[in-house]
């Protein structure tokens, strides 16, 4: 049997190992000069043109970003239901209510029309997710936010380096969060990076990260300890040097898959969009689960479903929104299948993925 092709594979090299060793030998392990350098290098690398603040996870970055932006109990934030639960958890943890809007069929991202329909007098912001590494319709979303005087919080957890109309994701909203979890396009072990448009929001973010202190023992707000360590920052700084080549490999792998797959709907890319393929997600109109199981059993190819249960059906968020109100979300949850696209795939791996999908999709048709 061929070797298993995993759906994701973090790449850690000698450079990351040496960087960690350098920090360990320095004896300074917690947040320090490596974190500061990583924040500056991250902002410059992705041309964000704004300050970045590093934290211990993407989720805490999102949570602290919302708190720093003034989101509080009683507010409403419009989110897609078709996303990872962290998007909605971070809203709920502020005491605000996540209000679910449907996605568009073409890009799996939140629909501007559905956002507009969900706005109430309690709405303070919109949290689009650049799902799978494809930018959400930020031109329309920013125009809506402007029209209704709302903030925009970007969930860019999966979209390092993606852009729309030449503007990088992370440079549109009040703040944006990038995850650095091991399966994401680059990693620091665990971690998150938040880009922030406004200096006062940035200051609050740094306070919340560090127990509410800018000056030691002069606490200004009730804060957390969500600092990134220098060990993690050192890993992230090395990954930053490699991420562009990995993105190119993801895009090349996606191009090969899209040119050769049959019997499934390949992921479209919007005009003016740069897709960084955190996931390469096809739609399987009939028996997606059967195809995924057979792909593993007969071809030893792993795959993923992101996300089979939409957030409005999850226990903490259930009860408020009907399935019938989110038809594209329900359809995507039943049809989506993410195939391996990560940079360490070989040509033989890509050919096996194509052979597997084409054989099984034809047999099922
Ligand atoms: C991974 C992810 C998060 C959370 O990031 P963590 O670093 O795992 O906390 C949030 N939103 C989306 C869409 C994600 O994929």
Distance 65 CA to ligand 1 centre (A): 14
Higher per-residue confidence, 25 vs 1: 25
The answer to whether residues 162 and 133 touch, using CB atoms and an 8 Å cutoff, is yes
Average per-residue pLDDT for the chain: 97
Question: Residue 321 has which token pair?
Answer: 């929104």
220 has pLDDT over 70: yes
Ligand 1 in contact with 226 (CB < 6 A)? no
For residue range 236-270, list pLDDT tens digits in order: 999 999 999 999 999 999 999 999 999 999 999 99
Ligand 1 in contact with 153 (CB < 6 A)? no
225 has pLDDT over 80: yes
362 is catalytic: no
The pLDDT of residue 111? 98
CATH 3.40.640.10 is held by the domain 14-240: yes
Segment 101-110 mean pLDDT = 97
pTM above 0.85, yes or no: yes
Ligand 1 in contact with 83 (CB < 6 A)? yes
Ligand 1 in contact with 87 (CB < 6 A)? yes
Question: Which residues in the chain are classed under CATH 3.40.640.10?
Answer: 14-240
Question: Which residues in the chain are classed under CATH 3.90.1150.10?
Answer: 243-363
Confidence band, pLDDT 50/70/90 cuts, at residue 362: confident
The pLDDT of residue 355? 98
The pLDDT of residue 365? 60
- A 10 A CB-CB count for 7 gives 20
Segment 5-23 mean pLDDT = 97
Catalytic residue (one of 36, 122, 184, 241): 184
Segment 64-88 mean pLDDT = 98
133 has pLDDT over 80: yes
CATH T-level assignment (fold) for domain 243-363: 3.90.1150
For residue range 88-97, list pLDDT tens digits in order: 999 999 999 9
For residue range 161-196, list pLDDT tens digits in order: 999 999 999 999 999 999 999 999 999 999 999 999
The pLDDT of residue 1? 65
């Amino acid at each position: 049997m061929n070797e298993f092709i995993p759906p994701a594979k973090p790449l850690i090299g000698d450079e990351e190992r040496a960087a960690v060793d350098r920090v360990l030998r320095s004896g300074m392990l917690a947040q320090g000069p490596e974190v500061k350098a990583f924040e500056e290098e991250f902002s410059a690398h992705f041309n964000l043109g704004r300050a970045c603040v590093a934290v211990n996870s993407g989720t805490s970055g999102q949570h602290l970003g919302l708190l720093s932006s003034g989101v509080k109990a009683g507010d409403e934030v419009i989110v897609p239901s078709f996303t990872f639960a962290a998007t909605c958890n971070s809203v709920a943890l502020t005491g605000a209510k996540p209000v679910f809007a449907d996605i568009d069929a073409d890009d799996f991202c939140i629909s501007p029309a559905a956002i507009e329909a969900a706005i109430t007098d309690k709405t303070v912001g919109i949290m689009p997710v650049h799902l799978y590494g494809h930018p959400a319709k930020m031109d329309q979303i920013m125009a809506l936010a402007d029209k209704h005087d709302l903030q925009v919080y970007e969930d860019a957890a999966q979209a390092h380096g993606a852009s729309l109309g030449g503007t990088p994701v992370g440079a549109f909203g009040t703040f944006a969060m990038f995850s650095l979890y091991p399966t994401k396009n680059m990693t620091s072990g665990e971690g998150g990076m938040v880009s922030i448009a406004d200096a006062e929001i940035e200051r609050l973010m740094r306070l919340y990260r560090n127990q509410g202190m800018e000056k030691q023992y002069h606490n200004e707000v009730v804060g957390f300890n969500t600092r990134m360590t220098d060990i993690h920052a050192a890993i992230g700084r090395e990954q930053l040097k490699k991420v562009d080549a990995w993105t190119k490999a993801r895009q090349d792998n996606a191009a090969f898959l899209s040119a050769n797959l049959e019997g499934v709907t390949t992921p479209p890319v919007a005009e003016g969009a740069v897709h960084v393929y955190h996931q390469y997600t096809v739609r399987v109109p009939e028996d997606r689960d059967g195809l995924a199981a057979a792909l593993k059993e007969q071809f030893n190819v792993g795959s993923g479903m992101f996300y089979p249960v939409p957030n409005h059906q999850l226990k903490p968020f259930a009860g408020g929104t009907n399935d019938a109100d989110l038809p594209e979300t329900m359809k995507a949850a039943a049809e989506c299948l993410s195939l391996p696209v990560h940079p360490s795939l070989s040509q033989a791996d890509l050919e096996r993925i194509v052979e597997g999908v084409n054989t099984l999709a034809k047999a099922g048709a």
